[in-house]
Amino acid sequence: MPDRENLIFKKGLDFAERGQYTEALACFDRAVTLNPSDASAWNNRGIILGELGRYSEALACFDKAVAINPDDPAAWNNRGIALAELNRISDIHVHFDAPVTRDANSSTDECKRTVTASSTHGELINISPNHRSEEWHCRGLELLECGQYSESLTCLDKAIEINPDNTGLWYAHGHALVNLMRYSDALTSFDNAIAINPDFAGAWLAKGHALASLKHYPAAIISYRRAIEINPDLPEAWYNHGIALTELGQYTDAVAYYDKAVEINPDFPEAWYNRGIALAELGRYADAVTSYDRAIEINPDFPEAWYNRGIALAELGRYADAVTSYDRAVEINPDFSESWYNRGIALAELGRYADAEISFERGIELNRKK
Nearest to 217 by CA among 182, 250, 172, 176: 250
Q: Name the band, by pLDDT with cuts 50, 70 and 90, for residue 105.
A: very low
How many percent of the chain have pLDDT more than 70? 86
Whole-angstrom distance, CA of residue 187 vs CA of residue 24: 41
Please answer whether residues 129 and 83 qualify as being in contact, where contact means their C-beta atoms are separated by less than 8 angstroms: no
Whole-angstrom distance, CA of residue 309 vs CA of residue 101: 42
Dihedral over Cα of 39, 40, 45, 51: its sign = positive
Q: Name the band, by pLDDT with cuts 50, 70 and 90, for residue 297.
A: very high
Say if residue 146's pLDDT is above 50. Answer: yes
pLDDT in tens, 233-265: 999 999 999 999 999 999 999 999 999 999 999
Domain boundaries, the chain: 1-163
Please answer whether residues 258 and 278 qualify as being in contact, where contact means their C-beta atoms are separated by less than 8 angstroms: yes
- HSE-CB of 93 using CA atoms within 13 angstroms: 7
Helix axes 303-315, 285-298, angle to 10 degrees: 160
Please answer whether residues 31 and 13 qualify as being in contact, where contact means their C-beta atoms are separated by less than 8 angstroms: no
pLDDT in tens, 167-209: 888 999 999 999 999 999 999 999 999 999 998 898 999 999 9
Position 336, amino acid: F
Position 347, amino acid: L
Residue 116: DSSP 8-state: S
The pLDDT value recorded for residue 108 is 35
How many Cβ atoms from other residues are within 10 Å of residue 369's Cβ?
7
Out of 1.20.1560.10, 1.25.40.10, 3.40.309.10, 3.30.420.40, which CATH number does the structure's domain 1-163 have? 1.25.40.10
Whole-angstrom distance, CA of residue 345 vs CA of residue 96: 49
> Which residues, 6+ apart, have CB-to-CB distance to 167 below 8 Å?
87, 193, 196, 197, 200, 203
pLDDT in tens, 304-342: 999 999 999 999 999 999 999 999 999 999 999 999 999
Q: Locate all alpha helices (DSSP H) within the chain, ordered by sequence.
A: 3-17, 21-34, 39-51, 55-68, 73-85, 89-97, 129-146, 149-162, 167-179, 183-196, 201-213, 217-230, 235-247, 251-264, 269-281, 285-298, 303-315, 319-332, 337-349, 353-369
Which backbone phi and psi does 35 adopt, to 5 degrees? -140, 85
